[in-house]
Amino acid sequence: MEELVLGLHLLIVLFFIFGFAAGLYYNHTGFRYFHAGTLALVTLLMIFGIPCPLTTLEEFLGETDYGGSFIAAWLRRLVYLEWFKAEDVLAADVAFAFLVFSSFLWLPLRGNKKNK
């Protein structure tokens, strides 16, 4: 079960990364607002040191005698970028959030009704 939650967590991370490019390409109002809003929430959780609910669930599910599976170990490394210091991951997240939020200035939303 831990692998499933970690897989979902990884999909959310990939949504943030690739969703930015998709949002710029399609410039869909609802998608860009949803992407920026969820990224803002995650960034604020990181800034204030509040654990993500998925992280809490992963920790609960990962409390086993055998230390978890091989797949879970590698998914955890990918999701949490364990080879970087926590403050470096936070700085990268804040910089990426700034890039996403600033994109509303340098690529404004389209104003047509079909897009909304």
**Residue whose structure tokens are 């949803």:** 34
Asked if 106 and 100 count as a contact pair (C-beta separation under 8 A), the reply is no
pLDDT in tens, 64-84: 545 567 777 878 788 888 889
- Asked if residue 30 has pLDDT above 90, the reply is yes
**Selected residue with higher pLDDT from 18 and 1:** 18
Instruction: Quickly list DSSP for 10-70.
Output: HHHHHHHHHHHHHHHHH--HHHHHHHHHHHHHHHHHHHTTPPPHHHHHHHHHT--TT---H
Residue 90 and residue 3 in contact, taking contact as beta carbons nearer than 8 Å: no
**Is residue 12 situated within a structural domain?**
yes
| Residue 4 vs residue 34, higher pLDDT | 34
pLDDT over 80 at 100, yes or no: yes
How many residues make up the chain in this entry? 116
* Structural domain contains residue 6: yes
Q: Tens digits of per-residue pLDDT, 105-116?
A: 999 998 655 545
Average pLDDT of the residues of the chain: 88
Any domain includes 22:
yes
Give a yes or no: residue 67 inside a domain: yes
Check residue 12 and give its pLDDT.
95
Structural domain harbouring 33: 2-111
Number of domains in the chain: 1
Does 116 map to a domain?
A: no
